[in-house]
């Protein structure tokens, strides 16, 4: 009879939220406090490490500081080894672990190695971004739903699917009245803008870009689809940023008008 290998330690994927440490969940803080090994992704605010034990081993696995990011397979091997050595491993990921950022892949690979990983949600950047602008993601009069989409799909030989069909997405967003929240889209903004317009989203569709949502360095620019790339460049915004497209942003103008009217 095969004896299943004994897993001593444990592993949790923890959403570190968009940046503001106060947006962490209580569960996230408790997991950080309990960790003996922390693997910290790019875009995680280091301030949250204040809750880590002094003796915890902290490994930064992101691109910050100009270093090349650690290969995904190496990170997963590190996690598996640490768990087998009996460590309490916390993998800190920006935003929510299950919205981009490869959380799903990590959970699958650990499961294949016989390790069941816990997951603690975090506030995803797209949600923090619209909140920073004072508008919702959905609104009964303006958007019936929301699409979180990556502007940087896996490409080349490793890709199992065609890249995002922005034209189809534009038509659906227009007809079904959906807010588009585009992650990792700044580098490809010209093509995204063009294809969304080609797909039938009107040129005057409101657009906003929010960089470093929830952090002291937060910056944003509002525009229309037709002027998105030009206005983004003029404002000098770069990564990390999310692009929000849709009529929910019309609420921003209303909020500003109210503020002007009421002198607040």
Is 63 in the active site?
yes
Q: Which is nearer to ligand SAH, 9 or 39 (CB)?
A: 39
- Return all residues near 21 (Cβ < 8 A) that are at least 6 apart: 45, 47, 48, 50
Name which position in 61, 183, 196, 228 contacts ligand SAH (CB under 6 A).
183
Q: Identify the residue among 11, 52, 75, 100 touching ligand SAH (CB under 6 A).
A: 100
As measured in angstroms, the least distance from the Cβ of 141 to ligand SAH is: 26
Q: Is 93 labeled as catalytic in the residue annotation?
A: no
Distance CA 161, CA 156 (A): 10
- Choice between 87 and 96, CB closer to ligand SAH: 96
Residues within window 223-252 making contact with ligand SAH, judged by CB under 6 A: 239-242
Q: Residue 171 and residue 257: Cα distance in Å, rounded?
A: 30
The binder of ligand SAH chosen from 11, 184, 232, 248 (CB under 6 A): 184
Least distance from C-beta 51 to ligand SAH, angstroms?
Answer: 19
Closest residue by Cα to residue 243 from 193, 173, 170: 193
Q: Which stretch binds ligand SAH (CB under 6 A): 46-54, 74-82, 162-170, 209-217?
A: 209-217
Stretch that binds ligand SAH, among 57-65, 94-102, 160-168, 221-229 (CB under 6 A): 94-102
CB 32 within 8 A of CB 90: yes
Any catalytic annotation for residue 184?
Answer: yes
Tell which one of 212, 221, 228, 244 touches ligand SAH (CB under 6 A): 212
The CA distance from 136 to 260, in Å, is 20
Q: Which residue in 18, 21, 188, 206 binds ligand SAH (CB under 6 A)?
A: 18
Supply the residues annotated as catalytic.
41, 63, 184
Footprint on this chain of ligand SAH (rule: CB under 6 A): 18-19, 43, 93-96, 99-101, 124-125, 129, 183-184, 210-215, 239-242
């Amino acid at each position: 009879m095969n004896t299943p290998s004994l897993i001593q330690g444990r592993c949790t994927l923890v959403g570190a939220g968009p940046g503001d440490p106060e947006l962490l969940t209580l569960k996230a803080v408790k997991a950080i406090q309990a960790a003996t090994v922390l693997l910290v992704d790019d875009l995680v605010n280091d301030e949250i490490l204040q809750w880590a034990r002094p003796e915890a081993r902290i490994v930064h696995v992101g691109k910050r500081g100009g270093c090349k990011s650690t290969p995904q397979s190496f990170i997963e091997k590190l996690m598996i080894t640490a768990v087998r050595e009996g460590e309490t491993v916390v993998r800190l990921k920006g935003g929510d672990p299950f919205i981009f950022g490869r959380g799903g892949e990590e959970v699958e690979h650990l499961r294949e190695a016989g390790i069941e990983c816990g997951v603690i949600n975090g506030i995803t950047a797209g949600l923090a971004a619209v909140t920073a602008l004072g508008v919702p993601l959905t609104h009964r009069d303006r958007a019936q739903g929301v699409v979180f989409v990556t502007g940087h799909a896996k490409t080349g030989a490793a890709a199992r699917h065609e890249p995002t069909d922005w034209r189809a997405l534009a038509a659906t967003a227009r007809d079904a009245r959906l807010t588009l929240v585009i992650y990792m889209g700044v580098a490809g903004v010209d093509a995204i803008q063009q294809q969304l317009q080609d797909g039938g989203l009107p040129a005057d569709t409101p657009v906003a870009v929010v960089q470093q949502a929830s952090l002291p360095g937060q910056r944003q620019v509002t525009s229309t689809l037709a002027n998105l790339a030009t206005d983004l460049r003029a404002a000098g915004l770069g990564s990390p940023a999310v692009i929000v497209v849709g009529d929910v942003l019309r609420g921003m103008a209303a909020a500003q008008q109210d503020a002007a009217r009421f002198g607040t």
